[in-house]
Amino acid sequence: MENRIETVQLEFNPKSPTIMHVDLNSCFASIEQQANPKLRGKPVAVAAYATPRGCIIAPSIEAKELGITVGMRVRDGKRICPNLIVVSPDPWKYRNVHLRLREILESYTDVVTPKSIDEFVLNLEGYPSFTRGMIPVAEEIKERIRKEVGEWLRVSIGIGPNRFLAKAAAGLHKPDGLDVIDKQNVVSIYTCLPLMKLCGIKTNNVARLNGQNIYTTLDLYHAPVWKLKAAFASIVGYYWYVRLHGWEIDDVVFERGSFGNSYALPDNLCTPEELSPILMKLVEKAGTRMRRCGYRARGVHVSVLYRNGCHWHKGMTVQEFVFDSRDIYKVAYRILCMSPYRIMVANLAVSCFSLEKSLYTQEELFSDMGKKEHLVQALDAINAKWGDFVITPARMMGLQEKVVDRISFGNIRELEDIGLQAS
Amino acid sequence: MIQKMIAPISVALVYNHKTRSVKPVKVVWENRSYTVTRIGFHHTLRQGRTLFHVFSVESELLFFKLVFNTDSLGWTVEEIADGEPN
């Protein structure tokens, strides 16, 4: 098998491209500009907090043109552009746009995979829309998004024979791009595409490739499998070979591995006692989401980022499955107390792992698990009817405005929750 | 300047049976009437089982984020902005 892989020589995939990657440009900021026309054409940044230390999570196209990037602090953005308008995220707005985009895209094919809140992959192979041609369909999708969702929203669409090349094509001309990568133009595209522009190739991988005398995307494309395997020191080299030759390798669905929540602390808190209310709220949020999706967990993980840049984390596996937020909290608090540091915390995260489906089914002998299940179900039902955190543990008192609703950028698993909440 | 708040507000809403669409046409805020010139976005959200309709609307001078509670049939304004930096 190993030898067969090393000697494999693939031609570039000759089939007509059927994969389409749709990427909503400057997603959160564009949606804010769509909602508030007074922000259109102005540099806008969506930031987790509008305070100077707040992190910019989405600059508008106008802000990006001035050099404002994702991850920049609000104060640094304001230094570049004193007129920068900073707005808070509004997750429900973004979820609504996501669902409307999904509805439009599903009218062309059943094979629509949301990759994140602002990215979708479609496979039109075998669907009537494919016979109309990929480019006319892409142009129609752009037009429908403008008409049916919002005239300020622009999407970049990439078309390719596999997911990777469709995404690469979508990134060629932003915003509002429409590009195809296929057998005819692949060499000319690779000639102009820097290695670092490839999704999944960053500094470390570039160093690995340079070690094998691979300096450009074209070098990477022409490199034999053995060389790529040597560069990546694993099967990953073969995957890159297949990917760059237009064959599908990324059509994989990973099972949900964990439910977690994190919080960037604006206050200076150090000790587990001080952090406990926030930990409780994080556990409550993660636990509610986990139960809503019908899971329970065997492990709890706590991660702490300190203001001095240090990072400490620890996971713990428990003997019995946990689903009640109070039990998850007990484990999480025990883990937090194990941290050797008593310095100011910048970010606190908690997650539940080793998940198992079929919550509320397994009866345990000699325990009051049944009672507990019914209680948790009742509490969840009350919160579902009257709104999250209507009933909360006393430990969370005074935390109403903290750990607010946030939306994850890249985590596709969160979209399960969107679907559930929308139904 | 963007101002966040939760305050009751008077809103005139028009339903067009031909297009089956609704739109806020007038807002009365602090004894002043604002004619809605454009609806930027309309979306929904749920808090518990209560459904809220959120209209992001623009008048000549100001932007309003109007929230309609389908249980109480009441309107609140959650954001007012003039499009200038904070």
Q: Which two tokens stand for residue A235?
A: 């099967």
Closest residue in B to A42 (Cα–Cα): B83
Q: Could you give the ipTM of this predicted complex?
A: 0.95
Q: Are A84 and B85 within 8 A, CB to CB?
A: yes
CB A21 within 8 A of CB A121: yes
CA-wise closest residue to A306 among A275, A348, A350, A351: A348
| pLDDT score recorded for residue A407 | 57
Q: Cβ-count burial of A397 within 10 angstroms (0-12 exposed, 13-18 middle, 19+ buried)?
A: exposed
Is A363 designated active site?
no
Q: Please state which of the four CATH numbers 3.40.1390.10, 3.30.230.10, 3.30.1490.100, 3.30.750.24 is assigned to the domain occupying A265-422.
A: 3.30.1490.100
In tens, the pLDDT along A86-126 reads 999 999 999 999 999 999 999 999 999 999 899 999 999 99
CB A179 within 8 A of CB A197: no
| pLDDT score recorded for residue A269 | 84
What's the rounded Cα separation, in Å, for the pair A219 and A130? 33
Q: In a mutagenesis test of the B interface, which of A38, A97, A101 is the best target, namely the one with the most B β-carbons within 10 Å?
A: A38
Q: Residues 71..90 of A with a Cβ closer than 8 Å to B: which?
A: 82-88
Q: Which two tokens stand for residue A79?
A: 């230094």
pLDDT tier at A361, thresholds 50, 70, 90: very low
Q: Are A37 and B38 within 8 A, CB to CB?
A: yes
First to last CA, chain B: 4
Query: Which CATH topology does A190-253 take?
Result: DNA polymerase; domain 1 (1.10.150)
Q: Are B41 and A150 within 8 A, CB to CB?
A: yes
CB A359 within 8 A of CB A294: yes
Helix (H/G/I), strand (E/B), else coil: B85:
coil
**Mean pLDDT within A347-359:** 87
Please report residues of B whose CB lies closer than 8 A to that of A384. Answer: 48-49
CB A95 within 8 A of CB A407: yes
Which residue in A119, A284, A373, A414 is the catalytic one?
A119
Q: Which two tokens stand for residue A90?
A: 């509004």
Instruction: Indicate whether A157 pLDDT > 90.
Output: yes
Q: Which two tokens stand for residue A398?
A: 């005074």
Q: In a mutagenesis test of the B interface, which of A32, A80, A90, A151 is the best target, namely the one with the most B β-carbons within 10 Å?
A: A90
Judge whether B48 lies within some domain.
yes
Nearest Cα of chain B lies from the Cα of A107 at a distance, in angstroms, of 21
**Mean pLDDT within A311-319:** 94
| pLDDT score recorded for residue A391 | 79
Question: May I ask the CATH class of domain A17-182?
Answer: alpha beta
Helix axes A225-232 and A236-244, enclosed angle (nearest 10): 130
B50 forms beta bridges with: B47
Judge whether B57 lies within some domain.
yes
pTM of the model: 0.83
Residue that the structure tokens 């991660």 belong to: A303
| pLDDT score recorded for residue A410 | 47
Judge whether B86 lies within some domain.
no
Give the distance between the most distant pair of CA atoms in chain B.
Answer: 41
Percent of chain B with pLDDT over 70: 100
Least confident of A137-141, A248-252, A321-325, A393-397: A393-397
A vs B, Cβ pairs < 8 A, gives 65
Tally the C-alpha atoms within 13 A of residue B65's C-alpha that lie toward its C-beta. Answer: 22
Helix (H/G/I), strand (E/B), else coil: B38:
strand
| pLDDT score recorded for residue A179 | 96
Percent of chain A with pLDDT over 70: 89
Q: In a mutagenesis test of the B interface, which of A31, A32, A36 is the best target, namely the one with the most B β-carbons within 10 Å?
A: A36
Instruction: Indicate whether A285 pLDDT > 70.
Output: yes
What's the rounded Cα separation, in Å, for the pair B13 and B23? 6
| pLDDT score recorded for residue A171 | 94
In tens, the pLDDT along A222-243 reads 999 999 999 999 999 999 999 9
Q: Which two tokens stand for residue B28?
A: 């009365």
Hey, where are the domains in chain A? 17-182, 190-253, 265-422
| pLDDT score recorded for residue A423 | 40
CB A77 within 8 A of CB A89: no
| pLDDT score recorded for residue A368 | 63
- How many residues are present in chain B? 86
What's the rounded Cα separation, in Å, for the pair A65 and A69? 9
Q: Is A383 on the interface with B (CB under 8 A)?
A: yes
In tens, the pLDDT along A246-256 reads 999 998 877 88
Judge whether B69 lies within some domain.
yes
User: At A125, phi and psi to the nearest 5?
Assistant: -60, 125
pLDDT tier at A405, thresholds 50, 70, 90: low
Three-class DSSP labels, chain A? CHHHHHHCCCCCCCCCCCEEEEEECCHHHHHHHHHCHHHCCCCEEEECCCCCCCEEEEECHHHHHCCCCCCCEHHHHHHHCCCCEEECCCHHHHHHHHHHHHHHHCCCCCCEEEEECCEEEEECCCCHHHHHCHHHHHHHHHHHHHHHCCCCCCEEEEEECCHHHHHHHHCCCCCCCEEECCCCCHHHHHHHCCHHHCCCCCHHHHHHHHCCCCCCHHHHHHCCHHHHHHHHCCCHHHHHHHHHCCCCCCCCCCCCCEEEEEEECCCCCCCHHHHHHHHHHHHHHHHHHHHHCCCEEEEEEEEEEECCCCEEEEEEEEEEEECCHHHHHHHHHHHHHCCCCCCCEEEEEEEEEEEECCCCCCCCCCCCHHHHHHHHHHHHHHHHHHCCCCCCCHHHCCCCCCCCCCCCCCCCCHHHHHHHHHC
What's the rounded Cα separation, in Å, for the pair A107 and A123? 12
Residue from the list A50, A93, A386 with its beta carbon closest to the beta carbon of B86: A50
CA A212 to chain centre: 32
* Domain containing residue B49: 2-81
What's the rounded Cα separation, in Å, for the pair A214 and B38? 54
Q: Which two tokens stand for residue A104?
A: 């439009």
**Mean pLDDT within A286-309:** 91
First to last CA, chain A: 47
At residue B65's C-alpha, the angle toward residues B63 and B66, to 5°, is: 125
A231 CB neighbour count, 10 Å cutoff = 22
pLDDT tier at A380, thresholds 50, 70, 90: confident
Task: Name the interface residues of B facing A (CB cutoff 8 Å).
Answer: 2, 4, 38, 40-41, 43-50, 54, 56, 58, 63, 65, 81-86
pLDDT tier at A362, thresholds 50, 70, 90: very low
CA-wise closest residue to A302 among A286, A289, A291, A288: A286
**Cα torsion A221, A223, A229, A232: sign:** negative
* In chain B, alpha helices (H): none
Q: Are A85 and B43 within 8 A, CB to CB?
A: no
**Mean pLDDT within A337-342:** 91
Least confident of A8-12, A202-206, A293-297: A8-12
| pLDDT score recorded for residue B48 | 84
| pLDDT score recorded for residue A26 | 92
**Mean pLDDT within A9-19:** 91
CB B72 within 8 A of CB B2: no
Please report residues of A whose CB lies closer than 8 A to that of B41. Answer: 31, 34-35, 93, 150
What is the rounded average pLDDT for all residues in chain A? 87
CA-wise closest residue to A72 among A52, A89, A90: A52
**Mean pLDDT within A189-217:** 92
Instruction: Indicate whether A408 pLDDT > 90.
Output: no
- Number of domains composing chain B: 1
